Chains A and B, each alone.
Chain A
Amino acid sequence: MVGTLQLARALTDRTCPIKLLARGGETALKLLDDRA
């Protein structure tokens, strides 16, 4: 999540980081579910 946030901050495009954050959130949830 830290890396995703850093990448989102580094990008200048406005729409791409939002998609990136959403996808990063989904990945984090998936990791949590897999662990459970």
Chain B
Amino acid sequence: MTRCLAAMPSTTRGVPVVQDCGQVGEEDHRHPRARADLTVGELHAADVDGVRRRVLPRRVQSRTVGAWTVVMAVAPCACCIGFCITIIISSYGHNTMGVDTIEGSSAREVAMRYGKDQKQATRQRIVEAAGRRFKQDGIDGAGVAAVDVDAGLTNGAFYATSRPRRISSRTSSPTSCVPNAKALTPSPGSGGTRGVRPRYLSPQHRDQCADGCPSAALLDEIARRPAATRQVFHRRTDGLIDDIASRLDPTDVGVARRTRSRSSG
């Protein structure tokens, strides 16, 4: 046994037997005392929030061992004098796991430092991507995975930023309605309303469903959505109708008042 241990790299002495390389890094942080082979000497004291605690030496072993993670299965063998130590040298990739554990912590800390603007920008990307996807495939036909791809996000980022069904039913279609309404009413007066017609009823608009009018793409589906969704769409459509009406008849006081209050609110 002593001879076998002497043949081992010095950095592995005192290192606890690692049964499962894939779980070592995480277990260290969550259950420090669960590593039964750790001695008190391997721990060092730290002052955290005024409380003296014992903390682990933060994966020093994995890094000093280098590229090799050693898994030792100690088994009795009749042929040997004491024990036969079988050393299985795992692949190079396991060491990167250990480093990733350390660097992953800092990556998470960096991720936690994302500001409100970043979250808002991500949410906006999701809303826009979802709006295009809904207009293209329908509200029920669009899946979260497709929206993720369109927005360039991972599934986790999507769920961390938003609630999918809310996006589908309340956020996307009304929000995507706004830029379209602005694009379709380029100039004031009835001339602006007339200018809408050639573009709205054009073969290009017919073929570009995803970037086109949400009403034409989603109207029949919205009629079957819950009341909350229809209320949002109703408010937005009211605004669009008043906008067009005010262009057709600028002297209509009621319409002008509603338009002003809506734009100021």
Contacts and interface: CB of A to CB of B under 8 A. Distances in A.
Nearest to A14: B203
B193 interface: yes
Contacts, number: 45
Contact of A1 (B197, B203, B219): B197
Interface stretch (B38-46, B158-166, B205-213, B228-236): B205-213
Interface string A1-36: 110111011000000011001101100110010011
A4 B196 CA distance: 14
B248 interface: yes
B206 A21 contact: yes
- The interface residues of chain A, by DSSP majority, are classed as helix
B6 interface: no
Contacts of B197: 1, 25, 28-29
A2 B218 CA distance: 11
B190 interface: yes
Which of B196, B206, B212, B248 lies at the interface centre, i.e. has the most chain A CB atoms within 10 A of its CB?
Answer: B206
B201 interface: yes
B216 A6 contact: yes
Contacts of A29: 194, 197
A21 B197 CA distance: 10
Contacts of B92: none
B219 A2 contact: yes
7 closest cross-chain pairs (CB), A and B? A21-B201, A5-B216, A25-B201, A8-B206, A25-B197, A2-B216, A2-B215
